[in-house]
Structure 1
Amino acid sequence: MSSAQSEDQAQDHEAMASALEHLVSSGPLHETDEQLQSGTSEHTAVTPGPISVQKHSKWWGRFFPDRFESTMDKLFASHHMGNYVAIRGQPEKKIFESMPIYVRVGMHLLFFKSKEQSFLRYKSVEDLLKTVSIRQGKVYDDESNPQAVLEHIQSFIRTYSINLDELQQPDPSQYPNFNSFFFRKLKPGARPIAEPENASVVSSCADCRLTVFSDVAEATKFWIKGEGFTLDRLIGDTNLADRCFPPGSSIAIFRLAPADYHRFHHSVGPAVCGPTRHIPGEYFTVNPQAVNADFDVFSENRRDVLTMNWNPKGDGGPSIPVAFVAIGAMLVGSIGWTNATQGSSIQRGDECGYYAYGGSTNILVFPPEAKIQWDQDLLDNSRKEIETMVRVGDRIGISNA
């Protein structure tokens, strides 16, 4: 990088820091109405940055001083717009996934350094992210203006090319609020379950971008770069982690983007659900650029941890513990559980829960005794630090226990 480029980058970072200071100190987001407004559907929290810039929807002008507008415009249009994701079954094909603009704000203003060096070290910033996340959830739960709700849903459908034919309710006007569309249900059979009679198969729990690793040490080498990440911190229970998920445990990371079907399903079965542990935390973005940085978003964020006992032989023999972690993120107001009651029996593919507005992440943890063998294409991509697009029910691995 030339000295001129370094100087430009330093100026960019200084401008972003100043913008963040203004955002935190003035707090306009705290004063924003919690009702959905008509005429704002083309520049919402789920609008990708390039689209927002092309439409000249400078929503950040509400928050930042005028003198920063040109800098923010340039940054949103040109810097780190997203990341590449592999398409399964097409080894040479990758798609570029542009980030929603709110996520990009979080990336640029918060994650270009470690937490200790960035503005995240100020509690006011963490409080702001939580406040904004909760408020945005209330906005998308609002039913007071049906026309505004319909506008936002229709804009979302256009922006992300949502296939209405696969929805249980394909009529956008029948959804009372934006969130009800966001965690929309699919028609029965829209996501076939791979090898349904084979209890040893592990399938994708979500429509998502997936990375898999044979052990946690491998995951921290190739993907999770935050130095503070450990299984006991992720699970929030050192005794459980030490007893059930020792070194050598396998891990799968399912990242949901805004366009994805936001209900998640059980990846294994038959299994019996254990308790769900609710862990309070922050609302940081779970985008790869944050996960790949020196910052531990997975064990800092608000999350729920469901433990299960899985019988991979399907014959009533010895069971294997599995941890299912649902992680909230920036602008994700809630994690809902629909089929995870302690003591209930589940099958692979059964619905498990849903996320209200936002993109988020599920993590599955298997102990060494599960002898999980991930499908080779997924493992190869993960070791190249590339996510793979998969859908609910797709086979992703198998237990050789």
Structure 2
Amino acid sequence: MKIVNRKGKIIKKEVSSKNQKFLYYNLEKNFLKRFFLKVLTSKIISFIFGLYAKTPFSKLHIKKIIKQNKIDLNLFEKQKFFSYNDFFIRKYKKINFEKNNKIFISPCESNLSFYKIKKNDVYHIKNNIYSLNNLLKNKKLAEEYKNDYCLIFRLEPSDYHRYIFIDNGIFKHQAVKIKGKFHTVNPIAFKKFNVFCENYREYNVLFTKNFGKIIQIEVGGLFVGKIFNHPYKSFKKGQEKGFFAFGGSTIILLIKKNIVKFDDIFFKNTLNKCETKINIGEAIGEKRYSK
């Protein structure tokens, strides 16, 4: 998978690890491998790894990830961490975001893919066909977003794992939590599984002031201990919505196509099988004005 900037320049090529290749290649021919993967992506294993990530022993992994990704610790509230999970959920001293209410911002630091949902409520990701009904487990809600937009923000382990609200608004319903597995969100898994429809996830319907009714879905990844969302009844743009604890993870936004004009480069990059690197709070679109 190629990761590019907004000008289309390649930043890096994401390569699956040897362990990921071992797990996901030739599954059809290897019963033991399928069994091992089933166990590894279960809730109990995620829980166990989550416990380990909270111990002082897990600090051993921090230096390597900081060096590999050139992370500037001076940008964060603290520079010393008790455990890997403590590092994983590190918090910026300040988050800069576009404050103009007509500007649509990214909820997180991530790699963005942009998809247009077809009339029969399906969209294609890495050669897999996804159904909104399977994603949401709500046929009526899925019907509302036929022929609209699906934005997928895939977080890498080195990314900032806290996320913010993209606008002012309110909640009218409680979050929906859907049980599932904990497959990696590395692209290698997309070839074998409908990861976003199979993984544990939870979603809210956001009734926003400037961009209408938006569905935000947080998807757990391999070894993600938990998804933490703050119990707000109303929210403001740039306010922290929640965070992921330990592991790669993904945020999905479903939005009406006639509400926001997104930068065309995101769709072009996705068609070229690339993801676009973006920062938390970065402007990615602008509200359409009706004539």
Q: TM-score range by the shorter chain?
A: 0.7 to 0.9
Distance in 2 (CA, whole Å) between partners of 1:186 and 1:348 is 16
SS at match of 2:52: helix
SS at match of 1:285: coil
Stretches of 4+ aligned residues off by more than 6 angstroms: none
Which stretch shows the higher mean deviation, 116-125 or 371-380? 116-125
Count of equivalent residues: 286
Letter in 2 for 1:209: N
Question: How large is the RMSD of aligned CA atoms in angstroms?
Answer: 2.6
Shift of 1:158: 2.3
Distance in 2 (CA, whole Å) between partners of 1:155 and 1:285 is 20
What residue is the counterpart of 1:230 in the other structure? 131
SS at match of 1:361: strand
Shift of 1:294: 5.0
Letter in 1 for 2:54: D
Shift of 1:358: 0.9
Whether the 8 Å contact between 2:122 and 2:131 is mirrored in structure 1 is no
What residue is the counterpart of 1:332 in the other structure? 224
Q: Which whole-Å deviations, capped at 9, do the CAs of 1:329-349 have from their partners, x for residues lacking one?
A: 1121211113x53xx221222
Distance in 1 (CA, whole Å) between partners of 2:10 and 2:39 is 40
Shift of 1:283: 1.0
Name the structure with the higher helix share. 1
SS at match of 1:154: helix
Letter in 2 for 1:374: F
Whether the 8 Å contact between 1:332 and 1:355 is mirrored in structure 2 is yes
Structure-2 change in CA distance of 1:107 and 1:303 (3 Å):
farther
Are 2:123 and 1:220 aligned?
Answer: yes
Shift of 1:117: 6.8
Letter in 2 for 1:203: I
Aligned match for 2:282, one of 366, 369, 394? 394
Aligned match for 2:237, one of 348, 355, 364? 348
Name the structure with the higher strand share. 2
SS at match of 2:90: coil
What residue is the counterpart of 2:38 in the other structure? 126
Structure of greater Rg: 1
Distance in 1 (CA, whole Å) between partners of 2:245 and 2:11 is 28
| Counterpart mapping for 1:316-327 below 5 A | 320-327=212-219
Shift of 1:134: 2.1
Whether the 8 Å contact between 1:107 and 1:290 is mirrored in structure 2 is no
Higher relative contact order (CA 8 A, sep 6+): 2
Q: Which whole-Å deviations, capped at 9, do the CAs of 1:142-184 have from their partners, x for residues lacking one?
A: 2xx4xx35433333322332211111112x2xx2322011110
SS at match of 1:151: helix
Distance in 1 (CA, whole Å) between partners of 2:19 and 2:153 is 22
TM-score (norm. length: structure 1): 0.65
What residue is the counterpart of 2:140 in the other structure? 239
Whether the 8 Å contact between 1:110 and 1:120 is mirrored in structure 2 is no
Structure-2 change in CA distance of 1:299 and 1:150 (3 Å):
closer
Aligned match for 1:201, one of 103, 109, 122? 103
